[in-house]
Structure 1
């Protein structure tokens, strides 16, 4: 049994077992001392010896994230967005807790507090970052924890996938709005997005060496999921690419940045009367059009790059009225 006693104004918990060096730790509250002793005794019963929990008792969530940012985040394709997210989390109250004292209740309280101010998708990403950082600390950094508290709570329900389709004549309105703007690359960018189902980042990373006009293939050497893929090009996409190639002076197919596209898109969609349309909706539209042409999901996934058919289902928005004729 553990011994809990008052010592010099604090509560000390001590765990003793025959044949094992005793472990003791002081806390501000009796409840914290009892919790620490219970966890230590449970681990002793499970594995037969007293684990070295000193690193977990010293390391705060903030210190965990600092090491994670140095060693793990730079290896990811999403490094910049994850770094931004983690640095924001390091400023919140949960970051001051040590790993040893972090409980599922603390994580659940953090989840609920964040859900009151941000979307569930944001909270899911934050919990994923925290959970993965704790997993790395347990498996690779010698931080002993009996369990990862992030794995013991309910995750927020993911938001429903958008089902925004282009209305009749809306694509032409977007192209007309692009023609009336000051950014000549928006028109080809819209057409290529609808014709290829490529992500905006993939389109902007295309170089002329990636385009095979003879085979009508665009090669993407690195995509969001980390794999390369080849995208077949329609006659309309080939025509747009040949027009761009005729006036191109650099290696990039579309020589601009995502930031510039973001600003231009906001103005363009307002001129077209499509203020609720996201650029990514063009990818949704492209995927759905392929399905409507009779392509099966494996063929569409080959073009779009989706690894999970469950995710592809979220992107495909077939209209019920378009399926009526198939019923006979």
Structure 2
């Protein structure tokens, strides 16, 4: 097996290192993809193959979503390169607003413009649409590049760049999602309209057409999630480039996609009694995750990525923090949450022989690996609870209801569960004391 990207650090650790092509760096969000593969060569080779496949998928998706040089400005720049203009010449022209240019560049532009004029006239004589408009040809005559064209495709690319986290698995998933959205837009609205036409020409009718096409293929919540990629992407492009337009996807009504109180139901006390023998036995890791989720209301990803050092045995709490490739959903997700006696005992047992930085749930720790825990727990849950509105995430809904029903103030409940708070004052101070949180949670245990 060829391993051209396998490197060994001075400390003897194997690493996967791949330099991202310059044309894709903005989309991928990094110059180089690096992944630690450990010190054992045999294991490193096994991991290398997996990381190589992930990298190939990431680059394939990035190439697919990378805007092909579209629009007259990009076309002119390509033609200039083919003609023999240097990158310095192009940069000079891009920033030129008047005044004299070098004789060489000035003469080259005149010849270049003559060629564009001949092509334009030839296309008209043959009854075909000219590749370059008169406006673009006149811009070259003024020693300027045509105005840059911002498209729906470039808005999606910009959105992807802004949302990139630097975590390989997360960015790969995001790239794939955005890429699929772009493909759907092209299929419904048209390739030229999405990749080459100025975004200012996008219409509300086209937005509705896209929404309706999605509605024929997927459930309303999925339609909403797709629109929630397109609309923010366009908003970011409008704001970034101060475009004079309204977002056609803004406040687009999606029938049946509103969040309702019964969209996902909390697990009842009868459910919890019936689930106890199933969820709290067998695989120690899954049983431990279940107990911590049940008694803290934390998110699955937050629990799966706990390290031994995140468990404060003295204070009896977990410290939910971002670390390494593990990120949190919001800024307010970073918090300390008291543990029930049973949850503390479970975590102490799991971490008994581990180093401080070691993961308590190694199998499920890391970007997107909590999905494996979710699938495994759901298999257990479905042997008892068949209502499709009840899932592992229903534990979080259950805790929210328990806190509400025991008289816990809303702001305290939000801090315990890591919800965002709209009020500015929420972000001031150290927050509620741990003993106050414990008193509220004890009423739910």
- Give me the TM-score of the superposition, normalised by structure 2: 0.52
Given the alignment of the two structures, is residue 272 of structure 1 paired with residue 384 of structure 2, yes or no?
A: yes
Please tell me whether residue 90 in structure 1 is matched to residue 182 in structure 2: yes
| Alignment equivalent of 1:62, drawn from 133, 138, 153 | 153
Q: Are positions 1:73 and 2:166 aligned together?
A: no
- The residue aligned with 1:293 is 406
Residue number among 233, 241, 246 corresponding to 2:339 in the alignment: 233
Q: In structure 1, the residue corresponding to 2:336 is in which secondary structure?
A: strand
1:177/1:309 Cα in 2 relative to 1: closer, same or farther (>3 Å)? farther
Give yes or no for contact 1:287–1:300 (8 Å, CA) kept in 2: yes
Q: Is the 8 A contact 1:174 1:269 kept in 2?
A: yes
2:266 counterpart residue number: 165
The equivalent residue for 1:261 is 373
Give the CA deviation at 1:72: 1.8
Q: Please give the secondary structure, in 2, of the residue aligned with 1:91.
A: helix
CA distance in structure 2 between the aligned counterparts of 1:72 and 1:169, rounded to whole angstroms: 45
Aligned partners of 2:422, 2:392: CA distance in 1, in Å? 22
SS of the equivalent of 1:218 reads strand
Give 1:134-153 correspondences, 5 Å limit.
134-140=234-240, 142=241, 144-151=243-250, 153=252
Q: Which runs of 5+ in 2 are unaligned?
A: 1-123, 137-144, 323-327, 365-369, 424-445
TM-score by length of 1: 0.68
C-alpha displacement at 1:275, in angstroms? 5.6
Q: Which stretch shifts more, 77-86 or 185-194?
A: 77-86
| Secondary structure of 1:238's aligned partner | helix
Q: Deviations over 1:137-189 (max 9, x none)?
A: 2333x4744332222643554232435232344223323123564x3212121
The separation in 2 between residues aligned to 1:146 and 1:265, in whole angstroms, is 47
SS in 1 for 2:164: helix
1:224 aligns with 2:337: no
Q: Pairwise CA RMSD of aligned residues?
A: 3.3
Contact 2:335/2:418, CA 8 A, preserved across alignment: yes
* Distance in 2 (alpha carbons) for counterparts of 1:168 and 1:79: 39
C-alpha distance 213-95 of structure 1, shift in aligned 2 (>3 A): farther
Q: Please list, as runs of the form range in 1=range in 2, the aligned pairs for 1:1-328 lying within 5 A after superposition.
A: 54-56=147-149, 59-69=150-160, 71-75=161-165, 79-92=171-184, 93=187, 94=189, 96=191, 97=193, 98=197, 99-140=199-240, 142=241, 144-151=243-250, 153-154=252-253, 157-161=257-261, 162-178=263-279, 181=282, 183-222=283-322, 223-227=328-332, 228-246=334-352, 248=354, 251-257=358-364, 258-274=370-386, 276=388, 277-308=390-421
The answer on whether the counterparts of 2:377 and 2:392 sit within 8 Å (CA) in structure 1 is yes
- Correspondence for 1:44: none
In structure 2, do the counterparts of structure 1 residues 152 and 274 end up closer, same or farther at CA, with 3 Å as the change threshold? closer
Alignment length (residue pairs): 263
TM-superposed deviation, 1:293: 2.2
Give the distance between the partners of 2:380 and 2:391, measured in 1 at CA: 11
